[in-house]
Amino acid sequence: MDTKTFKRTLQHSENYNRKGFGHQAEVATQLQSEYQSSLIQEIRDRNYTLQRGDVTIRLAQAFGFCWGVERAVAMAYETRKHFPTERIWITNEIIHNPSVNQRMQEMQVGFIPVEAGKKDFSVVANNDVVILPAFGASVQEMQLLSEKGCKIVDTTCPWVSKVWNTVEKHKKGEYTSIIHGKYKHEETVATSSFAGKYLIVLNLQEAQYVADYILNGGNREEFLQKFVKACSAGFDPDKDLERVGIANQTTMLKGETEQIGKLFEHIMLQKYGPMELNKHFQSFNTICDATQERQDAMLELVQENVDLMIVIGGFNSSNTTQLQQISEERGLPSYHIDIVERIKSRDAIEHRQLNGELVTTKNWLPAGEIVVGVTSGASTPDKVVEDVIERIFALKATSPVL
């Protein structure tokens, strides 16, 4: 399929909207009351610090809702207002946050059901309204919805669209897109659907494996087995790695994406020399500002004297996981939670580890004076952060006196 032409045609169709419906002002008031927090505003105004009793909260200087997420949620609310009686669907969670997704359900916005790992679009009828989430949808899904005659409301973040344009450029120049991301993540699934040949690498270690193969060759079968779910159909490592371009899932660790880009640039330079480099390597800056700001703020926060970190965000939120990774790498006690209810008591907190396991840690809240670092992922409303901070204050206020 000519994905570029398809997308252009879709964007000119009368069934397609990516600009909203003119209800911004009403929706802004509603979002303010549902997701904003006066406590968080107060902490921001006090130089991101608040002390109550034994607890000092240190908030990261950048955290929470990014503008891409705010825009997507606002468009979903607008869609409901604009189509008060129509059936509305979302192809996936609008963003990776349980409380926002719960609100969508309360507003009678349905999620496309998933049967045995596959989305069942048979529930969607002609003239239904379908919202594409902030991290986008695959070109095949868009095509299917367009053929069904649905009204498509596209909330894909422009930063994600920028990555799609990048892989289109790779395809045009016959470069293989090396995508730094998670092959199962919806954004990467969508990005790879716009790519020609592609290979998805999770981290620097996998990138190094590919780089070694480019330079020295290796075991072809082992390579194909390793990337069986993370490459385009018919991928041939002996032919398809001669010309590569770099792309990324927008929420990966920015430093790692940069390192991966440098690694491939260096390898191509070594193999083909400076005069030929541009024929074999392409890189555009597609790291999202919001991800970068949140990661930079976290890197600053972990250098302060915090006793523990609380990282708040959906368990399937990639950018939240990256924040947790920064904290763990620093060796801090760090708890990734999605909702305040994970804090069971002063003595027990349920949290997600980097390996995805949900565990309960006992005696997580130290006695006496403590400094708690707090941050949240790009899809977490301030209201959730407020609930967590209030819970910590309340638990410490009832601590037995030592």
**Binding site listing:** 66, 96, 157, 185, 250, 288, 317-319, 379
Confirm or reject binding of residue 66 to ligand SF4 (CB under 6 A). Answer: yes
Task: From the candidates 70, 78, 141, 187, give the one annotated as an active-site residue.
Answer: 187
- Residue 251 or 327: the one with the smaller Cβ distance to ligand SF4 is 251
Q: Which of residues 250-309 bind ligand SF4 (CB under 6 A)?
A: 250-251, 288, 290-291
- Residue 164 or 213: the one with the smaller Cβ distance to ligand SF4 is 164
Pick from 16, 77, 159, 393 the residue near ligand SF4 by CB under 6 A. Answer: 159
- Annotated binding-site positions for dimethylallyl diphosphate: 96, 185, 317-319, 379
Q: Count of residues binding ligand SF4 (CB under 6 A)? A: 15
| Segment interacting with ligand SF4, rule: CB under 6 A, options 62-70, 192-200, 256-264, 354-362 | 62-70
Each residue 67-96 as x (binds ligand SF4 by CB under 6 A) or -, in order, gives xxx---------------------------
Confirm or reject binding of residue 157 to ligand SF4 (CB under 6 A). Answer: yes
Q: Which of residues 182-241 bind ligand SF4 (CB under 6 A)?
A: none
- Residue 282 or 286: the one with the smaller Cβ distance to ligand SF4 is 286
**Position closest to ligand SF4 via CB:** 68
Distance between CA atoms of residues 353 and 358, nearest Å = 6
Active site residue 168: no
Q: Which of residues 355-394 bind ligand SF4 (CB under 6 A)?
A: 378
- Residue 91 or 176: the one with the smaller Cβ distance to ligand SF4 is 91
- Residue 176 or 188: the one with the smaller Cβ distance to ligand SF4 is 188
361 SS3 class: strand
Residues taking part in catalysis: 187
Q: Which residues bind ligand SF4 (CB under 6 A)?
A: 66-69, 134, 157, 159-160, 250-251, 288, 290-291, 319, 378
